[in-house]
Amino acid sequence: MSRRRTPRNPIPVAVALLVVVVIGSYLAVAKDIPLVNEPYVIKAAFKNSSGIKKGSPVRIAGVEVGRVQSVEPTTDGTRAAVLELALLDRGRPVKRDALAKIRPRIFLEGNFFVELSPGRPGTKELEDGGMIPASQTANPVQFDEVLKVLKSDLRKDLGTTFKELGRAQRGGGAKAFNRSLDDQAAAYRFSAIVSEALLGEKPGDLAKFLSAQGAVSEALDADPQALRDLVTNFNVTTGALAERESDLRAALRELPMTLRAALPTLTSLNAAFPAVRTFSRAALPGIRSTGPTIEVALPFVRQLRGLVGEPELRGLTRDLRVATPQLASLSRTTVPLLGEFRAFASCANEVLVPFGNTKLEDPNFPATGPVFEEIPKSLVGLAGESRSFDANGSWFKVLGTGGPETVSLGNGLLGATTSSFQGVNPPPQVQRPPLRPETPCETQEPPDLRTIPGRAPQAMRIDRSSPKVVARTAKAQATAVELMRDQLKAEGSTLKVLDTPATKEQLLGGLRALKARSAGR
């Protein structure tokens, strides 16, 4: 059993098709999408439209940011025109000091576009519909305008120039140009450096250069004959170079290597210019005073001329000529000695003098000054000890005492102390420091003057009331008394030696007797 298909309603389809046709027609005529933001439109006045057409691109730094919306010629009969520029958002903002130029996209003629410079930061933005005046616009130079400037004879010379240029290219100039492409990168780089240097280091340098160039041009124009002679001589020079074409070609081949070698030199020279400039400014007062100085120095020069004459230094040098070889030999042999003097002086500066300026660090016996002040103080004691002497030599008075502790002094010697030892400062050295004669003294480390007490010697306390100690003490005392009496008797002295320790009254009496004897003398 077949099912009948219900026919569709054609009205909605017709309405949809009508809407599509209407929208397409609007877009085709208006060339714009509704409900979208209107473009940012500004105007620019040009003295010459240069044949630019509606729809030509507007670019900023090579990037297309809009189109020419209309070209409206002026009514004054000139070729001036006002262009409406519709810009996208990426072309904003455009400042009031913006610049607009008509540029050709193809060499010589046709296909123009508007190059827009948006202006300096900080300037107010040009409002929508605002005008860029003709003073801020520029037109390209047309080729026919160039030809109008050229006169008939100049055109003929220009044609000759192009003809000779073609001959030069056919004669090998084109191949030579191709060979020079490898070196053109460096040449353009150096040209860019030179061009940047011509701009100057600060504002106004280029203006000063142009002003000075104007003065030079004015000076050249003041003497036309000299200028003609310059051109003639230049022609002669060029002809001479043409005759030595092979030598010139060889010199040009060496030029790149010369430039590569000269570049570091010129860089160093450029770095030295500030110092040279400072030196030149500082030397100006001395240069100004050179003339008066020379005038004042002339009498001295006259005296020097007499001094080096035959009766003076010239005769003296003749006499010294005999001794000069010996002096030269002495100078050669003195070099090793001076080397030793240098080592000694360096040792004194680096080791001895710093050592003398250091201070001994001893908490028990603090030093009152540096080492070079402390060392001479020991000479006073030596002089006092050696002052009393006789024919047999100096007298040294040694005081021997006893004590409750006995200390080993080494080598079988013993000593008695009245109190216990706290330590030994400085501690005894087990061995002498190593002697390294091959090591320079100037590199030696200064001595360490810190006094660190060492361990006290081993002591043994004795009982002084022990009978053996008492007996040995009495025997030692008796032996000492006998030795002293024998010595005084041999010397013929009248002094007496007591068997028992002297009392205070006996000591005072002895002092009074010595004073009386001294007064009697």
Tens digits of pLDDT across the chain (521 residues): 444 445 555 555 555 666 565 565 555 544 455 444 567 898 888 888 777 888 889 999 888 899 999 888 887 767 788 889 999 888 888 988 999 988 887 655 557 888 998 888 888 888 888 899 988 888 876 655 666 655 556 667 778 888 888 888 787 777 877 887 787 787 788 788 878 777 777 777 777 877 888 888 888 778 888 878 888 888 888 888 778 878 878 887 787 788 778 878 888 888 888 888 888 888 888 888 888 888 888 888 888 777 777 777 777 787 778 888 888 888 888 888 888 888 889 988 888 888 888 888 887 778 888 988 888 887 776 665 555 565 565 555 555 566 677 777 667 677 777 777 777 777 777 778 778 888 888 888 777 777 777 777 777 777 777 888 788 878 888 888 888 888 888 888 777 788 777 788 887 887 888 788 777 65
Domain boundaries, the chain: 24-143, 149-276, 399-462, 465-521
Runs of H (alpha helix) within 141-223: 143-149, 152-168, 174-179, 181-198, 205-222
**Cα gap 396→14, rounded to integer Å:** 148
For 368, 499, 501, the CA distances from 504, given in Å and listed in that order, are 37, 15, 10
Give the phi and the psi of residue 38 in degrees, each rounded to 5. Answer: -65, 145
Token reading at 507: 């000591």
**Cα gap 419→333, rounded to integer Å:** 63
Which residue, 66, 117, 67, is CA-closest to 95?
Answer: 117
With beta carbons less than 8 A apart as the criterion, state whether 424 and 454 touch.
yes
